[in-house]
A and B are shown apart, each in its own frame.
Chain A
Amino acid sequence: MPFLAKWYDLRDLGNAVGAFLDWIRDLGGPDWIPYVVSGLIGIVAILLWLLVSQLAFIWIERRVIGRMQARIGPNRVGPWGLLQPIADALKLLLKEAITNRYADKPLFWLGPVLIFIPALVVFAVIPFGEGMSLADLNVGVLFVIAITSINSIAIFISGWASNNKFALLGSMRAIAMLISYELVQAFALLGVVIFAGSMRLGDIVAWQSEFNTWMFLLQPLALVAFLIASAVEINRSPMDISEAESEIVAGYHTEYSGIKFGFFYAAEYFAGFAVSAIVVTLFLGGWTAFGLERWVPGWLIFLSKLYLVFFLFIWTRGTLPRLRIDQLMAFSWKFLLELLFIHILVVGAEVLIWHEGDYPAVVVLPIFAVINWTLAVALVVGWATFMGHLRPERRAKRAVLTQELGATYFRPAGGHGTGPMGEA
């Protein structure tokens, strides 16, 4: 087996796989065999990695949040509670998966299956290292935006099929959020595409490596907007209002139990990893790190960054309170979108100046970075002041639908009071 010789070169996993594929090709047979085999290797590797990371992060997340909230967290099963995820998985497998008598049974079954698809398919275009992507599509960024929107459809289907009013409320919120934040997500990534001049994820990483920069240094506003929008899209706290245990039991998966609930639980982590991978690829330089990739394998750099970004999601979950639905909607339409419009305009102008004037990147890029950072801070502070403190009557109000349904809320005498907190 001559291909085994290169397996030890762990710095480049693609090398080993390439050698294996060459070996298969040398054996003869039709052209499609190496093609199918390479696809299978990629799929199996990604699935295994996802499962292992997920098990690890279930434990890490519970321990870390426990620590943040001055609790202990799981510490009974195995040393430091390390076996807790496995115990959880066994428990979910053994519990009865109840189906509500009045549920829409095919759709009830379809929901948990469908929710896996976007989380897994996104990984097809992620470059884990140089040349280590299943399919480096030339419309990669668009593909990512398109696929992740399916997530909310899966949530909607499961909520509707449950035939439960809390589940339906949850799925209605999921759809409302999707409509609001899809645009934000697209606009955040548009800035990146304008700068890199390509929608191929591999090219965007190469662009960042070529100019020795990370995209978030140039476009901080886009990163923040994308992080918020994708936290909404994958239902991570504090934006998990379609789940919102404090308001609507468990939102769209109220009626799910046993392994069907386990599917939602697992898919949440998969989607989290997928979003973190996109953030790392587009904003944090992917598998490059200012020359470090010559000494450390690229996939290792990529995974370390990915785990750091995922830790950010855990961190926000552990520290920030859940937002109200009208606050989240207003934040998308009245805050993030306007800022992103200005951002796109500025970024477009910068690229135009750069390409027309043919200036060297070393001079231009730091100037752009300074401009964009200043602009981001000024815009966020300015717009927030304009929308919030200066004009109390402009603050997020209850959605019109909620009013028409006759929701009661506290209204102070003679004021513009709208929320239960008595904001006016």
Chain B
Amino acid sequence: MEDTGSIVAFWLLAALTLGSALAVVLIRDLIRAVVLLITSFLGVAGLYITLSADFVAVVQVLIYVGAISVLMLFAIMLTPRAGRNNAETFFRIPGILLAGLMAFTISLVSLDTDWAVVERGGFEETASAIGEALLDKYVLPFELAAVLLLVAMLGAILLVHPEGTDEE
């Protein structure tokens, strides 16, 4: 991160990410909040790109922008009266305290850590390395995570599915 381009990109993307994240918390309208959350996710994807993490950046767009926020939109749409007004919450003060504490901890850690500075080299592909790691060295945890997610999903369906609505 020595050249001007990366530095400008970093500050712009950081401003986009944090600014829209802040707006998500402050804004009243839930749908607008989700739209701003999408911009925040896109900003994070941009930050990954400045770190040459191509695969993670694209997957960030695919999973968070394309899937998670869509599911959020779907959930908001199916919730009666929740869509137009993100009204008062009892947890405002604890929330602010917790967020401040987290921000403080993270900045403290990042300032305190002795970061290993990587030499600026050519762009290296990460996709094939990630693929090999997932399907070779870490294949068992990877598959277990898939099974765990499946079980969690089935459990969720069973929990919310009332008896007798399966067939007409």
* Residue B122, interface by CB 8 Å: no
Query: How many B residues have CB within 8 A of the partner chain?
Result: 26
Contact partners of B143 in chain A: CB under 8 A:
none
Q: Given A32-B5, A107-B35, is A146 in contact with B65 using a C-beta cutoff of 8 Å?
A: yes
Please tell me if the beta carbons of A138 and B54 are within 8 angstroms of each other in the complex: yes
Residues on the B chain within 8 Å of A107, using CB: 31-32, 35
Q: Which residue of B lies closest to A151 (CB)?
A: B66
CA distance A10 to B141 in the complex (A): 54
CA distance A280 to B31 in the complex (A): 37
Residue among B5, B32, B77 making CB contact with A175, cutoff 8 Å:
B77
* In-complex Cβ contact of A110 among B5, B35, B74 (8 A): B35
Q: Does B58 contact A (CB under 8 A)?
A: yes
A124 beta carbon closer than 8 Å to chain B: no
Are A149 and B127 in contact, with the CB atoms below 8 A?
no
Q: Is the CB of B70 within 8 A of A139?
A: no
Separation in Å of the B139 CB from the closest CB of chain A? Answer: 14
| B69 contact set on A, CB distance < 8 A | 153
Q: How distant is the Cα of A95 from the Cα of B131 in the complex, in angstroms? A: 53
A19 within 8 Å of B (CB atoms): no
- Chain A contact residue count (CB 8 A cutoff): 33
Question: Do residues B59 and A150 form an inter-chain contact, with CB atoms below 8 A?
Answer: no
The distance in angstroms between the C-alpha atoms of A104 and B30, with both chains bound, is 12
Provided the pairs A138-B127, A142-B58, A153-B38 are in contact, do residues A106 and B32 lie with their beta carbons within 8 angstroms? yes
In the assembled complex, the Cα of A142 lies from the Cα of B73 at a distance in Å of: 23
The secondary-structure label for the interface of chain A is: helix
Using an 8 Å CB-CB cutoff, how does the interface string of B13-43 with A read, 1 for contact, 0 for none?
Answer: 0000000000000000101100100100000
A292 to B165, CA, bound (A): 59
Q: Which residues of B contact A182 (CB under 8 A)?
A: 66-67
Asked if A178 contacts B125 (CB within 8 A), the reply is: no
Chain A residues whose C-beta falls within 8 Å of the C-beta of B83 in the assembled complex: 160
Known: A149-B65, A150-B65, A179-B71. 13 other contacts (CB 8 A): A104-B29, A107-B31, A143-B58, A145-B62, A146-B62, A147-B61, A156-B73, A175-B73, A175-B74, A175-B77, A178-B66, A178-B70, A403-B168
A interface residues (Cβ-Cβ under 8 A, vs B): 32, 104, 106-107, 110, 137-139, 142-143, 145-147, 149-150, 152-153, 156-157, 160, 168, 171-172, 175-176, 178-179, 182, 199, 397, 400, 403, 418
List 12 contacting pairs A-B, 8 Å CB cutoff, sorted by A. Answer: A104-B29, A137-B54, A138-B127, A146-B61, A147-B61, A149-B62, A149-B66, A149-B67, A160-B83, A175-B74, A178-B70, A199-B127
Residues of B within 8 A of A (CB): 5, 29, 31-32, 35, 38, 54-55, 58-59, 61-62, 65-67, 69-71, 73-74, 77, 83, 125, 127, 165, 168
